[in-house]
Amino acid sequence: MTTSDRQRPRVLVSTDIGGTDPDDFQSMVHLLLYADVLDLEGLLSSPYGDGRAADIHRVIDCYEHDFDQLCRHARYPQPDALRALVKQGAIDRADHHGRTGTTEGSDWIVQRARAEDERVLDVLVWGGLDDVAQSLHEAPDIADRLRVHYIGGPNTMWSVNAYRYLEAHHPTLAMIESNSTYRGFFEPDPDDPRPLDNEQFVREHVAGHGALGDFFAAQLPQVKMGDSPTLTWLLHGDRVPDSPSWGGRFVPLWADRRRHFTRLTTAADQVEVNAVLELTLPLPEGYGASDRTHLLVDGREQGPCPDGVAQAGSITFALSVYRLGKVPYRVRSTHPGLDGLEGAFTSVLPSPEKAAAASPEHPHWWTDDPDPAQAIGPALGARWVSRYRSEFLGDFARRLQRCLPGS
């Protein structure tokens, strides 16, 4: 089934483009080449890092250069119409309540969700969940108007508080959480006898194909596009999470993923990869309002480790990690009773047996297939995407041909 056979999707993208990973630039090029089969309703900059709305405009500038050529093939939105959709979202991480404060991006999500349209608003999250969480703080009535497709993994590390808020306060939200399935977009299927080479694809099918192709190739010399499965899921298949498609196949979220410890943990304590770990420690005598405490994880202050929340005689940290194995941490504090404390935990894959029990609290929340047969290395579910690489990359190559003069 193709998009021409179905309702056009209403699409709003929240991206950390220009921030921590250049692959968002590639995915934005990919998105704009399919703008003729989408109703684009928002392009939000919601970074962790240096990305800003101006980075989205850079890609639209390339699109404008290729616009007349693209319009020889289909009806594409005017460049200025796309520029009007660009909004600046949250720059700072959400606090422990999951709030950032109102942003232009969160306001835009609310406005578009409340539009008089029978179609659901597909929110494709390529970065943090902070603006999505803020919009639901402001307007909880929009929850049933949204379908969120979230590229998690490292993004949950950066926006763990927003993730916790959605998981706890909007458990019926329609959500696809792809922590590793997305990796099939650039990881070849081990069973493919002639896998597409990511660098060769860029050399032969991307570079030299209009301003968009050249911009894409200038970001990375190979295909990355880790966020693009959120789009290809809409382009191919029946848009049902447990049905195979170019964007993957998913299973219902299972229960009891989050772990909460009230002590320093050790490597013997196992925590599911990409799940939330909450660590609560007692406050020492004399800990005051001016004291500050945070965690160093793997030797660095990562996204999940802002200042802990001190209340009722204890301090709590929330974090999530996306790599497997032993994860050490250290407490850094202005109070000597906490400073220098150390601990660790071990990040593990979920067991298929545990994942077989769907969470009754999250009836519309889907995530990576834990079946080892569908993994590529530790990347659960990645084969559900990689098996289609020749199809969706071939389709993308044909789209890029539209940028060539005379095509």
What is the CB-side half-sphere exposure of residue 9 using CA atoms within 13 A?
27
Per-residue pLDDT tens listing for the chain (407 residues)? 344 447 899 999 999 999 777 899 999 999 999 999 999 999 999 977 788 999 999 999 999 999 999 999 999 999 999 999 999 999 888 888 888 999 999 999 999 999 999 999 999 999 999 999 999 999 999 999 999 999 999 999 889 999 999 999 999 999 999 999 999 999 998 888 888 999 999 999 999 999 999 999 999 999 999 999 999 999 999 999 999 999 999 999 999 999 999 999 999 999 999 999 999 999 999 999 899 999 999 877 765 566 788 888 999 999 999 999 999 999 999 999 999 999 999 999 998 888 889 999 999 999 999 999 999 999 999 999 999 999 999 999 999 999 999 87
* CATH 2.60.40.10 boundaries in the chain: 259-348
Q: What are phi and psi of 346, to 5 degrees?
A: -120, 125
Give the CATH architecture of domain 3-254+355-401: Alpha-Beta Complex (3.90)
d(CA 6, CA 19) in angstroms, rounded, equals 34
Pick the CATH number of 259-348 from 2.60.40.10, 1.20.120.920, 3.20.19.10, 2.40.50.140: 2.60.40.10
| pLDDT at 304 (0 to 100) | 54
d(CA 350, CA 342) in angstroms, rounded, equals 26
Cβ-count burial of 165 within 10 angstroms (0-12 exposed, 13-18 middle, 19+ buried)? buried
Distances in Å between the Cα of 398 and the Cα atoms of 9, 90, 183, 291, 392 are: 21, 35, 22, 58, 10
* CATH 3.90.245.10 boundaries in the chain: 3-254+355-401
Over the range 365-404, which residues count as b (16 or more CB within 10 Å of their CB) and which as e?
Answer: bbbbbbeeebbbeebbbbbbbbbbbeebbebbbebbebbe
d(CA 34, CA 213) in angstroms, rounded, equals 14
d(CA 260, CA 164) in angstroms, rounded, equals 13
| pLDDT at 306 (0 to 100) | 66
| pLDDT at 94 (0 to 100) | 86
Q: Identify the three-state secondary structure at position 10.
A: strand
| pLDDT at 4 (0 to 100) | 45
* In contact, 261 and 269? CB cutoff 8 Å: yes
